[in-house]
Structure 1
Amino acid sequence: MEVTQLRTFITLLGREESLLVAGDTDALLALTNEKTELYHTLQRLHDARAMLLGRLGLANSGEAIRSLCADMPDTLAQWDEVLRLAAEARERNSLNGKLVIERMQHNQGALSILLAAADRPQLYDADGHARTTGGGRILGSA
């Protein structure tokens, strides 16, 4: 079950990467809901495994699973696949996070250029905080 869910999650992360590269924000918004639901499913599977190990008096660790399943080579192979897929998902999610930051920086730069071209002061800084825009009289005017 967890292997299947992780494979689905990795496929979804691949779609997310493509949408980030293409800049398709509408599709990204729809994908975000799907990603969140799948993440919660994976978290529930993790929590159920931790609860089962706890009931057996074992720590929630890879070593405990290996010890528990020592005589079950097929189960250990599945566990190894879970670990491999989880590492791949973590790597892809990290890459997508970097793409999001890159896209945000690009958008901030484009907004700065547009505001400068319109001869208007920036209303927000690069961190999204409101910026004061001065006001009042211009020095030297009466």
Structure 2
Amino acid sequence: MSWLDEVRWDDRGLVTAIAQDAVSGRVLMVAWMNRESLALTAETGIAHYWSRSRARLWKKGEESGHLQTVRELRLDCDGDVIVMQIEQAGGIACHTGRESCLFRRLVDGEWRVVDPVLKDPHAIYADPHGH
């Protein structure tokens, strides 16, 4: 039995993947992986995901250069969440040019942006929406 068979893939063949900064512990992004992207991640040491919007494999940083070097892969107790300890190239994980995709905090009943843009998305991508 392959280690990949121990993952509980959902009905679309996907599993939730969390990228966490290996030094600070901050969650940088949450995305999806399929069997091929998880295998590629383990094989290459670079995070690969499944893009649901583009319906294709996606090597994180393929356009921006902001690769995620994976230091550790973990599977949760239910087998349906992958957590990766990563080193984020350029210090930017989000297509908005921020360190983390989780840059809004609930304050007094509204979502407030609490993290600065480190680099203008137009300077990172041809398509600043990252698609």
TM range (shorter): under 0.3
Larger relative contact order (Cα-Cα within 8 Å, sequence gap ≥ 6): 1
Tell me the TM-score normalised to structure 1 length: 0.19
Task: Write 1 or 2 for the structure with the bigger share of strand.
Answer: 2
The TM-score with structure 2 as length reference comes to 0.20
Question: If each structure's helix is expressed as a fraction of its own residues, which one has the higher value?
Answer: 1
